[in-house]
Chains A and B, each alone.
Chain A
Amino acid sequence: MDMLHDFFDYLCVVLIIVNAALFIYSYKENRRNLSYRLFCMYLIISVVINLFVIILGSYKINNLYFSHYYFILQFILLSLFYRTLFIKNQKQIVSAVLVTVVGILSIQYAYSPELYFKFNTTEVFLTCFPIVVYAMIHLYNSLNKSPKYLYINAGILIYLATSTLIFILGDYLSGSNTGAVNNIWLINKVLYATYLALILTEWWKNFRLIKNK
């Protein structure tokens, strides 16, 4: 069982580094594409946060507060990413949601700074749910035109919808360490690996060959 955990841990780290490297590799050809730049930035930040979490974890230092950076930066970057893909009215909605959520979270942290060292359920919900909705809106938008970022979008929809539930109960789960809880974390890792594999597929299908065109 531990081996399986370790395997998916390593797989996720390898995949996220490979993804970031590949997207940086194709950056030059796509530098005019704003959505590509934003997604690239998201991948780089994910790598950095992941590496910090792993390094701190290996020294047994508390790394839980990195989750806040992860969720908030993910929310901001993916919101901006979807904003570039949306049509006019939808862009305004994304901007409004972005400002509102960041506002609510700032107020929350200002009033109760101790949340910084805990798992913040409100934050998880507020930062993940809008992204899942954006993914669905993007699917709807793509119905009658050639879809962009289809694989990434499917990955975001699957991973964020499920992982949100896991992270909402994250505080409760991190308290216990039974086999069942471990299984939940394993499911999360498998889903994250799937998400990363879908990002890799996206690069392979849509950005790999641009150089040869």
Chain B
Amino acid sequence: MVEELQVNQEQIIDALVYGLIFLLLTALGIILFFFYSRRKIVKKEIEKFNTKLEHQNKILQTTIKVQEEERYRIAQDLHDAISSKLNVVSLTTNVLLEDSKIKNIHREALDHILDITTQTLESTRKIAHKLLPPILDKFGLKVALKELFDEFTSNTNIKITSDIDTLGFLNKNSALHLFRITQELINNALIHGYATHLDINLKKTNDGFVLVFKDNGKGFDINNNSKKAGLGLQNINSRVSILKGNLKIESSSQTGSKFTINCKSYAL
């Protein structure tokens, strides 16, 4: 009887041990399940976020592309449709003016027409230039940038020191993007940074180029700015990614801002 009880007790304890092992494994299983599910969910969420970001970037890049195309079209139209017609007006007026028989009152009116036409032609030319610097097309990035710097230094009291290499391997579009980036950076430095001195270097490297832009302005908060990146900075970012480059920004109120754009995708 006693033996039987003992056997019984041992059986129960055996069952208990297995029960314990079972519970322990179940608990561990639940924890592992949680761990792996969580990892999967987090991974999915990151993927989703990245896709969204990529999509946004694509939209921005397309916007910029379309914007450039439109600018090109408007510049062409201005040149072809308006400038040429205005030239005809100007020439015709000149022909009329050469006639000595016309009355003084008419001559004055014709002079006025000529004056306005010349002014309008000049404005049209300026607008077209702003939309698409023709010099970039004809003489390349280096000359276009020089002209840009001259434009800024002659109109404002900013000083620009620069060292620009000729980048023969850049196609027209890339050159235009680089030109626009520089333009935007100078504008930002002037308007937001109140800079008085700029140092701009564009250097050729083995597999691409490096653009280093330094100003002595009041700097800005990079972290704060990139969250709600200003339109200008966003534009620069998108253009840099179109160029498949890398943008590095350093900024402090003491030393001003420094932008480094490194592009390595032109391996020769």
Q: List 29 A-B contacts (CB under 8 A).
A: A136-B30, A139-B30, A139-B31, A139-B34, A143-B34, A143-B37, A143-B41, A144-B38, A144-B41, A147-B38, A154-B31, A157-B30, A157-B31, A158-B27, A158-B31, A162-B23, A162-B27, A165-B16, A165-B19, A166-B20, A169-B16, A178-B9, A180-B13, A181-B13, A183-B17, A184-B13, A184-B16, A187-B17, A191-B24
* Given known contacts A144-B41, A144-B45, A161 and B12 CB-to-CB distance under 8 angstroms: no
- B12-53, CB < 8 A from A: 12-14, 16-17, 19-20, 23-24, 26-28, 30-31, 34, 37-38, 41, 45
Task: Give min CB distance, B177 to chain A, whole Å.
Answer: 40
Chain B, Cβ-Cβ closest to A144: B41
Interface range, A side = 20 to 34
Report the count of interface residues on B (CB-CB < 8 A): 21
B250 within 8 A of A: no
B111 within 8 A of A: no
Q: Mark A90-129, 1 if CB is under 8 A from B, else 0.
A: 0000000000000000000000000000000000000000
Q: Which residues of B contact A161 (CB under 8 A)?
A: 23-24, 26-27
Q: Which residues of B contact A176 (CB under 8 A)?
A: 9
CB atoms of A180 and B34 under 8 A apart: no
**What is the CA–CA distance of A181 and B23 in the complex, to the nearest angstrom?**
18
**What is the CA–CA distance of A144 and B44 in the complex, to the nearest angstrom?**
11
Q: Mark B146-157, 1 if CB is under 8 A from A, else 0.
A: 000000000000
Count of A-B contacts judged by CB separation below 8 Å = 56
- Identify 6 new A-B residue pairs, CB closer than 8 A, beyond the known A161-B23, A166-B20: A143-B38, A157-B31, A165-B19, A169-B12, A180-B9, A180-B13
What is the interface of chain B, defined by CB distance below 8 A to chain A? 9-10, 12-14, 16-17, 19-20, 23-24, 26-28, 30-31, 34, 37-38, 41, 45
Q: Which of A147, A157, A169, A180 contacts B27 (CB under 8 A)?
A: A157
A172 within 8 A of B: yes
What is the interface of chain A, defined by CB distance below 8 A to chain B? 136, 139-140, 142-144, 147, 154, 157-158, 161-162, 165-166, 169, 172, 176, 178, 180-181, 183-184, 187, 191
CB atoms of A142 and B12 under 8 A apart: no
**What is the CA–CA distance of A184 and B10 in the complex, to the nearest angstrom?**
12
Q: Which residues of A contact B20 (CB under 8 A)?
A: 162, 165-166, 184, 187
Q: Which residues of A contact B38 (CB under 8 A)?
A: 142-144, 147
Q: Which residues of B contact A183 (CB under 8 A)?
A: 17
